[in-house]
Structure formats: C-alpha cells, structure tokens
Amino acid sequence: MDFPHQCIVSSEEETKILAREFAKHLTGRNIVLLNGELGTGKTFFIKAVCNCLGIDSVSSPSFAIVNEYRNNNKIIHFDFYRIEREAELYDIGFEEYFTEDAIIFIEWANMFPEILPKQNFRIDFNFINNFSRNITIQRNG
C-alpha cells in the first residue's frame, strides 16, 4: 500500500481487506486519525485493524471517551464525538497517552485538530451510497 491511498469499498469484507493491508504499516507508536459522518465505518475499520493485531474485544468509546486494548500490542482508542471542549481532553490526561508505546486511534479527530501530533495517518470515510464508501488514507509528517 502506497500513501496516499484511495479506494472504494462496497462491503464489510472489502473493508476488512483494506484494514488488513493498513495494519501491516502500523508499529508500536502510530497515531491514526479517522474522520467521517456517523455510520461511515470508522469504528468497524478500527475493529478490523485490531483484529489483525490479535485484539478481538473492541468497542466504541463514545461514552467512555477512551478505551484501551492489550495483547502483544497496546491500542488506545479515542472517540471525540461527545467532547464539547478541548479542556475535557486535558482533564482525562489526553497528552500523556502520546508518551506511551501504543497505537492510538482517534475517531472524529477533525473536531480538535490543533491538539493532535502532526505525524500521523489520516483516514477519511465518505458515503457513496448505503453500501459503498470512499476511503482515503494519508501519511502525514
């Protein structure tokens, strides 16, 4: 997979294949920013990547704000959807997570881009129709 990478997926299976290819590029310290409307597949994609990394118990942290998953890899999974103010992230020690040897996924990253590290992967999910998504993956920094 070269970056930027753009493709259209029309099924969950095609999304899993893309996630498998993307997972090959992740190391112990990567930040993955995911953007897209509700229902475009951000959480599904994260679950598929985590599955490739040997983690099966992934759930959306919409209410908890952050979930952590562990096996040979440490995964930190944020969801900014319910965050109203940047200060809420600092209240939970957001910046401390970036010092850990972990892969960090952030859903709705476009809500607070000014506080995010510049070195990251950015994945944009866009509806084409009820079954298809245009997914663009970029490597920044």
Q: Tens of pLDDT along 79-130?
A: 999 999 999 999 989 999 998 899 999 999 999 999 999 999 999 999 999 9
Going across the sheet that includes 133-140, the strands are 5-9, 133-140, 120-127, 30-36, 103-107, 74-79, 66-70
Q: Tens of pLDDT along 17-73?
A: 999 999 999 988 999 999 999 999 999 999 999 999 999 888 887 777 899 999 888
Whether 115 and 89 have beta carbons less than 8 Å apart is answered as yes
Domains of the chain (ranges; CATH) run 5-140 (3.40.50.300)
Whether 107 and 40 have beta carbons less than 8 Å apart is answered as no
